[in-house]
Chain A
Amino acid sequence: MTKSSLSSYDEMLEADGSTRPAYSGYCEWLKEQPPELLRRKSGEAEAFFRKTGITFNVYGNEDAEERLIPFDMVPRIINAAQWRRLSKGIEQRVRALNAFLHDLYHRQEIVRSGRLPERVLKGNKAFLPQMAGFTPPGGVYTHIVGIDLVRTGEDDFMVLEDNARTPSGVSYMLENRETMMAMFPELFTKVRVREVSDYPRRLARSLAACAPPAASGHKPVVAVLTPGTFNSAYYEHAFLADQMGAELVEGSDLKVENGRVAMRTTRGWQAIDVLYRRVDDDYLDPLSFKPESVLGVSGIMDVYRAGGITIANAPGTGIADDKAIYSFMPEIIEFYTGEKPILANVPTWRCSESDSLAYVLDNLADLVVKEVHGSGGYGMLIGPTSSQREIAMFAEKLRANPDNYIAQPTLSLSTVPIFTKAGLAPRHVDLRPFVLVSPQGIDITPGGLTRVALKKGSLVVNSSQGGGTKDSWVLDD
């Protein structure tokens, strides 16, 4: 474990202990801050988050119904040149994802050409036959995307995961910045950091630009669909609706009437043009998917296919961020853009292929093995930190159902210091930039959400597994 941190790339400090250029402005400021002040501010940040109610609910943990995601006040800093390159790579990837989705639900040229094996799609639950032959308004599938990046060296950024369903975390990106600006206003006069606060406005504009044919002639009515107050990301749903000036609706507020999806308002039923749904595909329409679902709207898929509403993200986008598909992303990018991928994938072994499976089984102690359809850090094996018994048990699961797994090397993720009682200490981080897609183009908010593993040496940054977050800065030129 500690081995990984020793050999990791630290984003703030060079190997000789000197400060890297991106952090020079910050570190100059930091040197002048009395340690007691910083300690006090750290406590203030937590009180601030509790007061504002920025909490998330943890599944399967009733005692801790609402928990805070720990916030660390040392920012994660990316310089302008690095960000330019990242943006290009992200844009290319997101363009490819949308082209890929359109193709999958139409002619499937990529399968015909032999670049993607048909077996990956066959029986894949994330592929929705209901979407076949249908093009969403504006041709956009993934209105909001989160691309999870990890870094292993000065210029070595890799994509760990694409989140093309309903990526969350953007409210933390915004609140982390608010918190930093409230705590250390003078810092932002010393270091020029690119703005993130207009994300909700950009989101609203991007969603409105994807309005369906039925919305022509008026300003599109946008609503955010939440599963309700008990959902782990409820705070974010309310936050985004609030910031966009959109209604926050639940399934029980909606019904299909005269070919439109309408919400029950105090003045009567009002049609919705664009629904930013934070409800999974399965629960969206009991008539088309899970019949017992009460979180969605009966008949919304029919309205959707008839051009009566835009659903963001489009149903069926999950096929693009499936981990079985992930390993084909380099091919997918080349196929649709005709370009070499700017951002690399993390090397991935598909356990469905017998050679790879044999290699993975032989090297479990060094690998990270993930479920193809899993997320949130659940159901995975981190070889280097697991006991022999855990590894043996996992090997059995793997042999029984190899198609269900992929494996990746244990990456030596970059570190950024966090503020601890004993001073600054390096911890592993990742980065989730947020990307908006509309017919007007692809819009990437500078920075994103930095997640940080708070335990020394740990590589797991997921908030559901005790990770924290940092404010992420992209420096202005």
Chain B
Amino acid sequence: MLGRSANGIFWLFRYLERAENTARLVEAGFRMALTRDAADASDEWRSVIVTLGLQGAYQAKFGNDYAGSNVFNFILRDRDNPGNVLSMVEQARHNARMVRTGITREVWEAVNESWMILKQELARTVTETRLGGVLDLIRRQSTLVRGAMEGTMLRNDIYYFARAGSFIERADNTARLLDVKYYVLLPSLSYVGSSLDNVQWDNVLRAVAGDRAYRWLNAGRMEARGIAEFLMLDGRFPRSLAFCYAQLRDYLDRLAVEYGDRLETHEIAARTHEQLKSQTIDGVFEHGLHQVIGQFIAANNHLAQQIQRDYRFTE
């Protein structure tokens, strides 16, 4: 396949994954904001902006006013935020059009339809009444595309690049979420274990759709270590770093088999995966969660770049 097409499909799935994760994060923020008073709700919305790395752009427009409707409109559809969800989906659709020959009709139609529906839904300001429906739509369209992929795509290099894009992005998003929560959001260490802390952790779990699974595994006990372990090291949870890397490594290995060639990409993926597997949560906290996550994000990014180099995504 063409290097440009590999790049197109890799980013198509990065954008879709990012759009979905962003919607999940807004959904968690929305739910938290609903259950709290106005001042706390505004804190909650601020934390969503911080997690997405948008505080600069947001404050330039709204200052310190974190009114919910400003925040979620900014994230979902505001042209002053170049990374808004609508433009991610637009970009994904553009890429799908570019790699049209590499995807099945069903995958194309799912992506195209997502774009058509969201363009319409996000053409006007999203009110609190509509927000739930819009977020639900984003998640469902993402699920639709994933299902079309799963059910119709040939398992070859095209599919492997698509999956690699999804898991690189998902690992990055989960890692950032954890880092922001732990390192940025808590006013000080004395809050660890406080009720604010617990609400925030609950929020994190909701944002990755892991609240039920976590409670089921831990009999409802909320604590930083358990949650960090769950999100980083539990290979059973589909949004954990360990899960993402097991998948990534597997798909990249299949690519190596198909091409008959192991490259630097495979070394990096294996190294990062082995590191995750050999870690214990005590070790992580001993090193400092922020440091460990920082290293992981860098390694993940490094892998993404190596894939682009090894497979000639660009000239």
Report if A and B associate in a common complex. yes
Known: A241-B101, A266-B311. A53 touches B112 (CB 8 A): yes
Give the one of A234, A246, A247, A249 with max B CB within 10 A. Answer: A247
Counting CB contacts under 8 A, is A268 at the interface? yes
Contact across chains for A252 and B312 when beta carbons are under 8 A apart? no
Q: Quick one: which of B126-178 are within 8 Å of A by CB?
A: 157, 161
A contact patch SS:
mixed
Q: Tell me, yes or no, whether B78 is within 8 Å of chain A by CB.
A: no
Cross-chain contact B109 with A52 (CB below 8 angstroms): yes
Q: How many A-B residue pairs have CB under 8 A?
A: 62
Taking CB atoms, residues of chain B closer than 8 Å to A241 are 101
A-side interface size class = 20 to 34
Contacts of B261 in A (CB 8 A): 267
A238–B97 CB distance below 8 A: yes
A-contacting 9-mer, from B2-10, B29-37, B218-226: B2-10
Interface residues of A in 245-282 (CB under 8 A from B): 246-250, 252-253, 263-268
| Known contacts A229-B98, A238-B100: A253-B112 contact under CB 8 Å | no
A50 neighbours in B (Cβ, 8 Å)? 116
User: Chain A's nearest CB lies how many Å from the CB of B47?
Assistant: 38
Chain B nearest CB, measured from A47 CB (Å): 10
A248 to chain B, nearest CB (A): 5
| Residues 295-315 (chain B) with a chain A CB within 8 angstroms | 311-312, 315
Assess the A264–B100 pair: CB atoms within 8 A.
no
B312/A266 in contact, CB under 8 A: yes
Inter-chain contact A266/B101, CB cutoff 8 Å: no
Partner of A266 from B2, B113, B116 at Cβ < 8 Å: B2
Q: Is the CB of A252 within 8 A of B4?
A: yes
Q: Which of A40-60 contact B (CB under 8 A)?
A: 50-53
Which residues of A are at the interface with B, using a C-beta cutoff of 8 A?
A: 50-53, 229, 234, 238-239, 241-242, 246-250, 252-253, 263-268
What 10 A-B pairs are tightest by C-beta distance, nearest first? A238-B100, A266-B311, A242-B101, A264-B3, A241-B101, A248-B101, A266-B6, A53-B112, A264-B312, A229-B97
Interface residues of B (CB under 8 A from A): 1-6, 94, 97-98, 100-101, 105, 108-109, 112-113, 116, 157, 161, 259, 261, 311-312, 315
Give 12 new A-B contacts, CB below 8 A, not counting A238-B97, A239-B100, A266-B157: A51-B113, A229-B94, A229-B97, A241-B101, A248-B2, A249-B2, A253-B2, A264-B4, A265-B312, A266-B259, A267-B259, A267-B261
> Can you give 12 A-B contacts (C-beta < 8 A)?
A51-B113, A53-B100, A53-B112, A234-B97, A241-B101, A250-B4, A253-B4, A264-B2, A264-B312, A265-B1, A265-B3, A267-B261
